[in-house]
A and B are shown apart, each in its own frame.
Chain A
Amino acid sequence: MLKFLTHRVLLMIPTLIGVSIIVFLMLQIVPGDPVDSIVPVDASKEVRAQITEQLGLNHPLYIQYVDWLMRSLHGDFGQSIVRQLSVNALLFPALLNTLILALGAGIFAFVISLVIGVYSAYKPKSWLASIGNLIGLTGISIPNFWAALILIGIFSVLFGWLPPIGMKSSVNGGSFADVFYHIIMPAVAAGMTTLGVMTRMVRSAVFDLLHQDFVQTLQAKGLKPFRILLHVLKNATPNLLTVAGLQLGYLIGGSVLVETVFAWPGIGQLIYQSVSQRDYPIIQAGVLIVSVIFILLNLIVDLLHSIIDPRVRGS
């Protein structure tokens, strides 16, 4: 197990270096001098030079990269250019908010997909299975930002039941109930794709397993259907886990559109805003952190996978 772990972690290192290089270089393509975005016209040459130096932009590219990487490794992502605040102070609260949303969306999608997926695998001709079909297809086809607008249209505009924006009430907000109340629509919208993918996945995985020999043996042995289901689920777990882990990763990195529509103060929205403001330090740190989380999540999934199914370790 330890060997497997070391092997996987070692493999991660070149990937991480690659990611950091891409993140760093991506912004070098962006046209325009970042100094322009802070220094007004009237500023003197000295002021310009001072700021250029402050940002370390006077050094060659590779030094800038190593410099940036070293500072990042120490957890120092520098100052936001536009907001003039430390990147950490902006990034980590936003990251937490995104994790909350991703978790909400994940729970919504996983629970429903599991129930419907399993049921429709058992009774493929039932009407619930047709709904499962519909959900699966809708989920993978619907643009989540559009789903978000429809939800707002129905539950905020038409009925006035749910708050259309934000994560908490502006005054005295922030209690669990308050956040829960605000998260419902964003979670449903963001979780839509995952719901679709997972429903299809669960259904086909369980369906395949149900038609395998061991299930028939178990049935012949006279096991109760519920116990059989547990066996089936146990066998389906490794695959489902992999997909679920990946999906959680997508939810963390991919809810930028939903965050934008609902004004959810998450990392996707932060990165997107920073992109339009050319706020390089935030973009770099944000994309880097999300990618690292993404990679770690994959690692965790692999580890869990190998614990449940030791055969994986060999490969």
Chain B
Amino acid sequence: MRSKKIRCVALLIMIMSLFIFTGCGTNSLGSSSSTSQTLVIGMSASNIPTTDVSPSEGYEGWRFVGFQLYEGLTKWNLTQSDQPAEVEPGLATSWEVSKSDPTLWTFHLRKGVVFHDQTPFNADAVIFNLNRVHNSKSKYFNPTLAGGLSTSLKYIKDYKKIDEDTVQIKTKEPYSSLPYDLTQVVFASPTAIKKYGKDYQEHPAGTGPFKFKSITKGQELVLEKNEDYWGNVPKLKQLVLLPMPDASTRLAALKSGDINWAEVPPSEAIKQLKKDHYQVLENEYPHNWAYVLNLNEKPWNDKRVRQAANYAINREGLSKALLNGAATPATQVDYPGSTWYSDDAIQYKYDPKKAKELLKEAGYPKGFKTTFMVPTSGSGNMWPIEMNEYIQKNLKAVGINVTIEAVEWQTLLNQYLSGFPKDNSVGAINISLPTNTPMIFDRYFSTRSKFPNGSNIGGYSNPKVDQYIQKATGTFDTAQRDKEVQQAAKLIAEDAPWIFVAHDLNLRVLAPDVQGFVQPQSWFADLTTVSINQQNK
């Protein structure tokens, strides 16, 4: 009886194998993606980012689409891995602030630059683009883009053309962070916008190192090198972007040779991948994987509760055991080594006892219940479900009972952008936020950026922090600015408007034959230096 059953199973497997073998002769696995200079990237986003000047899918959209197709007057210098990325000239070769009026900026445009459709880049193009996203009365005004870029355009009051190669921008107040903001105000060909109107998305034209080649909706976006690029012309011929929201899918695709660049694969795979000669890249960069707390409502309106939550988390366990070292502990906004890291800020060590004491002091001796809205994947969110389950357990140990509400990344982003639900149904939103500019302190923590006037959705407010931030954004002395920001960072750590958890290390894995990439201390990536080594084949 039993042997008969076994025979049955064996035969079943044989039949299936037969079916599969018949298909095997026709193709050989892998290898195909490495032919020619084509880089195939598995992104963590679940959609292809939109191709207009304000890409969707968060900063990952900017990383792989926005900053490849387009450039702003300023751009990030991504060529160094040993120091935080800084802003450098982009489509403007230089700029200065008027001595008499600190709100008046003059930008000298790069000459001889053309858009991908050969339209020349000049002051008119700059004005056209600014009108498109900042002037609701202009003919080509696009409210969706304007919305997407509102934080970058926040302090721009006015702008005008001086001559063919010069524009002036006036800020609403003395605002030294403008060059940072301008990295994301990128320029598209006015000709293309006028010509294609609603269909511009399918014919985007910027000045960036890569230009649009084709899109298979929902599946892949293909960019190709811009031979006319004013900077380093990319070595790659083609760049293929594939949305793969599932970490294991990206790993699978990398192993099967379908992609040669995988964003955040499962961290368990690191060891094996290294053994198999894949290039496992990690680097610190300004990023914070945190919970933005709802300070408008109980219980998170109490500083002691927020600190308690910060003490309750075992960051070492998270970074080392759960994530196999693919993150570093975060106890304030920026990471040690960042320009805006405060050395003397409060250090949140893992201390559940202290957390319990603080909760008791705050009037929650038995703890409380709360809901965290968390993403399921997406830009910089690392491995959100696993990490959230881990933290859920940490918090439970001190009496904070968290219900995890997991939503798709773009949905979470939209929720974040529209603030906490009014009914206090969400106590915190788990989101990865870039901390790459001094302006982010204004954006996330200043009173004037409180929702709905800005992204300070938790409603954090500390007059002292406001003062430091104001001073920082108003001063044009970089050293002075950084000092002020550090002061603010210190107070923010103390007030704990976020539960600081981890700094991502930007884990990405490249196939052995991908060369020339520098993993910068930045979320963004310069792909012009990358090439595929065909000798190794």
Contact = CB atoms under 8 A, between A and B. Distances in A.
Interface in A206-250: none
Interface in B258-315: 258-259
A41 B455 contact: yes
A178 B28 CA distance: 9
Contact of B46 (A127, A155, A273): A273
Contacts of A50: 143
A28 interface: no
Nearest to A181: B27
A288 B253 CA distance: 33
A165 B408 CA distance: 21
Contacts of B150: 40, 42-43
A295 to B, nearest CB: 25
Interface residues of A, number: 57
A85 B201 contact: yes
Contacts of B253: 164-166, 170
Interface in B4-25: 4, 7-9, 11-12, 15-16, 19-20, 23-24
Contacts of A141: none
B252 A93 contact: no
A68 B325 CA distance: 51
B47 A172 contact: no
A273 B408 CA distance: 8
Nearest to A47: B143
Interface string A138-170: 000000000000001001100011111111011
Interface string A10-31: 0000000000000000000000
A267 B102 CA distance: 55
- Prevailing SS type, chain B contact patch: mixed
A170 B22 CA distance: 23
Contact of B144 (A42, A84, A188): A84
B148 A160 contact: no
A43 B419 CA distance: 13
Contact of B48 (A41, A83, A172): A83
A99 interface: no
Contacts of A127: 4, 7-8, 11
Contacts of B33: 169-171
B462 interface: no
A82 interface: yes
B516 to A, nearest CB: 19
A170 B253 CA distance: 10
Of residues A41, A89, A156, A165, which shows the largest number of chain B Cβ atoms within 10 Å of its Cβ?
Answer: A41
A58 interface: no
Nearest to A51: B143
Contact of B252 (A46, A134, A165, A273): A165
Contacts of B519: none
B44 to A, nearest CB: 13
Contacts of B414: 36-38, 278
B56 A84 contact: yes
A40 B19 contact: no
Interface in B188-220: 201, 216-220
Interface in A253-310: 263, 265, 270, 273, 276-278
B240 interface: yes
A55 B162 CA distance: 39
A173 interface: yes
A5 interface: no
A93 B218 contact: yes
Nearest to B419: A41
B249 A263 contact: yes
A40 B11 contact: no
A112 B146 CA distance: 57
B89 to A, nearest CB: 28
Nearest to A270: B218
Contacts of B65: none
Contacts of B8: 127, 130-131, 134
B275 to A, nearest CB: 16
Of residues B19, B20, B253, B407, which shows the largest number of chain A Cβ atoms within 10 Å of its Cβ?
Answer: B20
A180 interface: yes
Contact of B47 (A37, A82, A155, A160): A82
Contacts of B23: 162, 180-181, 184
Contacts of A180: 23, 26
A265 B218 contact: yes
Contacts of B16: 188
Contacts of B217: 83, 85, 89-90, 93-94
B218 A155 contact: no
A197 interface: no
Contacts of A265: 218-219
Given A156-B256, A163-B256, A166-B258, A131 B50 contact: no
A41 B219 contact: no
A13 B46 CA distance: 37
Contact of A47 (B146, B244, B376, B457): B146
A65 interface: no
Given A83-B50, A170-B220, A184-B20, A177 B143 contact: no
18 contacts: A41-B418, A42-B452, A43-B146, A44-B136, A47-B136, A51-B143, A93-B216, A131-B8, A163-B29, A165-B256, A166-B253, A170-B32, A170-B33, A171-B38, A171-B240, A177-B27, A276-B376, A277-B411
10 shortest A-B CB distances, which residue pairs? Answer: A276-B408, A42-B150, A164-B252, A177-B26, A47-B143, A40-B147, A37-B414, A43-B147, A40-B417, A36-B418
